[in-house]
Amino acid sequence: MGKRPVVVISSSDDEDGGCSVSAGCNSSRTKSERSVGRKKCRRLKKASVLNRQLCKQGHKEEEANFDALLKDFYEDFHGHSMAPGERGRRQKLGSPWADSRELWVDKYRPRSLEELAVHKKKIEEVKMWLEEWVRTSKEQFCGHVLVITGQAGVGKSATINVIASQLGAEVCEWKTPTPTLWQEYIHNANSGTHYISKLEEFETFVERSTQIPTVILVTEYGKAESGDNTKYSEELVLSLERAGASKVAFNPLTFNSIKKTLSRICREEQCNVPPEWIDHIAKASGGDIRHAITSLQYFCLRPDLMLPLNLSSLSITQSRGKSEDLNEMSKLIINSDENLDYEFSLPFGRDETLTLFHALGKFLHNKRETVDCSALGRDLFTLKDRYKRFPLKMDSPERVLLQMHGQARPIADFLHENVLDFLSDEAIEDAWIVASYLSDADCLLSTSLHGQAWSPIVAGKHDPENVTQLVSASVAVRGVLFGNSHPSPSRWHAIRSPKLWQVEKLRWHNKKLMLLEKFEAYNIFSSYGMSVMATEYKPTLKRLGFRSLEDLQVCRKMTECSKMEVGVYDLLDHDEVEGGTSMESEEDEIEDW
Amino acid sequence: MLWVDKYRPKTLDKMIVHQEIAMNLKKLVSEHDCPHLLFYGPPGAGKKTLIMALLKQMFGPGAEKVKIENKIWKVDAGTRTLDLELTTLSSTHHVELNPSDAGFQDRYIVQEIIKEMAKSRPIDTKGKKGFKVLVLNEVDKLSREAQHSLRRTMEKYSASCRLILCCNSSSKVTEAVRSRCLNVRVNAPTEEQIIRVLEFIGKKEGLSLPTGLGSRIAAQSNRSLRRAILSFETCRVQQYPFTENQAVPPMDWEQYVSEIATDIVQEQSPKRLFLVRGKLYELLVNCIPPEIVLKKLLSELLKKLDSELKHEVCHWAAYYEHRMRMGQKAIFHIEAFVAKFMSIYKQFLIETFG
């Protein structure tokens, strides 16, 4: 027991992917890495082995990764130093690059528990586990594995590193290596280096270890990203847990703790970053501290470029939090979509794409603050009670819509299909308000449809078509949000896909059938309108029952006769052809709509 | 063959109702020429019958030799080519089509296809340049744009073709189109006229029609002759010999709509609204036009309503009917109407009964 306790970290490969935020060139590689890495993790679990080998491989790869990441910075940096006049200002701000070229993420890696931005409780949990293990290591044979899950950048590995150093333990980290390229392999073979399969490397890494606490870090993907990945990692965590591993889930970092860390860095770097900006960066990071720090560093590179944006977009974000729906609406109309553009053109901020269902869930659940905020809007104008709503617990709907990149039509359809489930049982008035707004949205959409062909194509996003799309989506969503003033107590609802689509398809199909029938069966000398067919002929024929069948046959004979006489079209033949094409055109139709 | 078709008068002389219009039309085409015509009137009034008889009057039996063509037209619509499928019914002298079948692409039909048809000009037996007749059904369902292009077509090809337009309500046809046509209003036949027709058919079929039944069929038909004849035939199938107080069955979808109305009056809640939506879908799937659904629903609801509310309910029905015409997906608007009705009705119940 004289040995130093050793902790093994098997960092899930996703970690690396997450790290290279801006290294786009990496993406193709990470995919293959992922699958390899996953296998490794499985093996690890099966062997349930504990390592004691200090592992230094992957070091090179780490550097390569950083290089890619740094590229952007260098570019910016060089571009910056070209302009000589700005150098002075940079120095005033305490230029981050003047003293070292180190990334702040590394430079300000937490050294003590206090510096960690992770929630105290979680740190405590991890620490407890490790200490417990150290205390009872000899006797216990199961439960050597701790699984830490959490999004990228919530400080999983940082926590382990800090705690381990506190305990005086050595950390052996397995970093998923980058796979060897073929050219690389050939080069290495020529130069006499022996190739070792990465899997083998990993196996030896695992095998050389014995009874050492192992921490497996699993980076969770946001639900928004591809579902299969999430499934795998969930499965992995589950099976690990079944095998007796304990699990600690890290949540995204809170806004405040990120802010605190950022301010600390600013102090130490002597960067004069306005507090609003820190707020903003912290907000945009979405609980990812690595991202926040990188953004901060990036920001400090060229604050001059950012500053003008600062005021306008910030004023909007602030007003958004407080004001009421109408107020917001008017603001949005006044400022049009430029503000939104600014926010999205910020060089930092995580990719906040939402899936359709996520966004729909937001709209339908209609979560609102419960405090009375009427005081906040009072200075503008007072609203009648029935128009008052509590502020939304989300970004403005337009923003959410932009994030999900949806088209107005499907959004309206989905809302229409699902909204009634979310209304409380008594609230028929609400149902009407919602329905009337949806009806408005439908009208707006159809005008856009007719206008489409007529209006000359105007460039870009100010194309009327585009604007109507935006407006009608906004009307539909805000109508749903506004109208649903008595949401039913939240429980789990499945969001259905619109039945309307199915109905339309069927209807189209029936119409086709009827169109044929119309000519085929009843009156060869004239045709009836669709509505007459549907409302009068078909029901009558149905009622006439078998007689109509006989009748139809007679008619068919007649048509055949007349066909021979005049030598017309072969209806039956045509029928079949049409059956094929009608499906296609129907599909197109749906898409068009 | 259904009686409606079997006993449809084939010539203008044989018309039982609208004899006056028939005679006027006969005079009108005595020179083998005619202006553009717009027939309008409620369904089942006899517009189509008049048109067919008129064509026969103009072209003789040749107008009856028709063929069905289902053709896919390639239409160049600015940036892309559209494939439009359109079924037409045509003889050597006339073409009959339903432009509104093409939905929102009806404009192209009017612009391109009608132009195409209007261009080819038949030459009659005497070597005189003749003209072709285009019969357009359901003109009131055409979109505004389509109607505007129709106007241009009418002017440009007035030498080589005549248009006969047919619709329910001339108010939905633009002023420009209306003023270029001779408008022929075809009234709904009176109940006496309907009874006369029913008796005529009864005699031909060798049936004895009790007067009571005849007048009840006529009363239920809502002054639609077609409807009356169809119900007459249904009655015949259901029970013969006729009795005085035999039930005249309504159409199945009408029954369904009145069920919906009952549902609505029974309970007013989002859940019920959802149920109603499902039933409305059922109707729409069966191609019952949404306007008709709304209209029927309104009349069913009005039956069950306190007269105090009728005015407001009618107002909202009209409002959403208009919406429906402007919009694209009818269900949104019908549902909004149902929701509004529920809301009004619930309010009313609370006020009256506490």
* DSSP conformation letters of B37-77: EEEE-STTSSHHHHHHHHHHHHHGGGGG--EEEEEEEEEEE
Q: Which has the closest alpha carbon to A125: A149, A141, A101?
A: A149
| Element (DSSP H or E) covering residue A292 | helix A289-301
* Closest-CA distance of chain B to residue A566, Å: 7
Pairing of β A246-249 and β B132-136? unpaired
**Distance, CA of B114 to CA of B134 (rounded, Å):** 8
**Residues of B (254-283) whose Cβ lies below 8 Å from A:** 268-271, 273-274, 277-278, 281
The closest alpha carbon to A129, from A47, A244, A238, A254, belongs to A244
| CB burial of residue A212 (10 Å; 0-12, 13-18, 19+) | buried
How far, in Å, CA of A140 to CA of A38, rounded? 27
Partner-chain contact A527 B96, CB within 8 Å:
yes
Cβ–Cβ below 8 Å for A438 and B285: no
A324 φ/ψ angles, rounded to the nearest 5 degrees = -90, 175
Torsion over CA: A128, A134, A138, A144 (sign): positive
For residue A317, CA distances in Å to A277, A279, A340 come to 12, 11, 10
The residue with tokens 């039944």 is B213
Q: Are B197 and B224 in contact (CB under 8 A)?
A: no
DSSP output for A394-418: SS-HHHHHHHHT--HHHHHHHHHHH
ipTM tops the 0.85 cut? no
Q: What is the pLDDT of residue A435?
A: 92
Q: Does B215 touch chain A (CB under 8 A)?
A: no
| Burial (CB count within 10 angstroms: exposed 0-12, middle 13-18, buried 19+), residue B291 | middle
Nearest to A530 among B1, B48, B101 (CB): B101
Low pLDDT (below 70) residues in chain B: 32, 77-78, 103-104, 118, 121-129
Nearest CA in chain B to A547: B237
Question: CA geometry: angle at B256 spanning B254 and B260, to 5°?
Answer: 115
B313 part of contact set with chain A, CB < 8 Å: no
- For residue B323, the chain A residues in CB contact (below 8 A) are 439, 442-443
| Chain B residues inside the 8 Å CB shell of A416 | 331-332, 335
Three-class DSSP category at B110: helix
In B, which residues are within 8 Å of A435 by CB distance?
Answer: 332, 335-336, 338-340
Best mutation site among B90, B269, B321, B332 for testing chain A: the one with the most A CBs within 10 Å? B332
B336 touches chain A (CB under 8 A): yes
Tell me if chain A has a CB within 8 Å of the CB of B89: yes
In chain B, which residues have their Cβ closer than 8 Å to the Cβ of A447? 326
* Contact between B339 and A428 using a beta-carbon 8 Å cutoff: yes
> Which residues of chain B make contact with A454, given a CB cutoff of 8 A?
145
Chain A residues with CB under 8 Å of B253 CB are 534-535, 539
Q: What would the two tokens of residue A26 be?
A: 């990496």
Facing A535 at nearest CB: one of B85, B144, B288: B288
How far is the alpha carbon of A386 from chain B, nearest alpha carbon, in Å? 15
Which residues of chain A, if any, have pLDDT below 70?
1-101, 137-143, 209-211, 221-231, 302-354, 371-383, 447-463, 490, 517-530, 545-593
Interfacial B residues in 143-162 facing A (CB < 8 Å) = 143-145
**Phi and psi at residue B308, to the nearest 5°:** -60, -35
Q: Is B240 on the interface with A (CB under 8 A)?
A: no
Strands (E), A274-355: none
Task: Write out chain B residues lying below 8 Å of A493, CB-based.
Answer: none
CB contacts, 8 Å: B227 with chain A: 536
Q: How many CB pairs under 8 A join A and B?
A: 210
pTM value > 0.90: no
B-chain CB neighbours of A426 within 8 Å are: 269
Quote the Cα angle for A342-A345-A346, to 5°. Answer: 90
Interchain pair A537, B66: CB under 8 A = no
| CB-based contact B70 A528, cutoff 8 Å | no
Selecting from B87, B269, B339 the residue whose C-beta is nearest the C-beta of A515 gives B87
DSSP A251: P
- Among the partner-chain residues B87, B271, B292, the one whose CB lies closest to the CB of A519 is B87
Structure tokens at A416: 């229409």
C-beta separation of A238 from A42 below 8 A: no
C-alpha distance from residue B206 to each of B191, B199, B209, B245 (Å):
22, 10, 9, 20
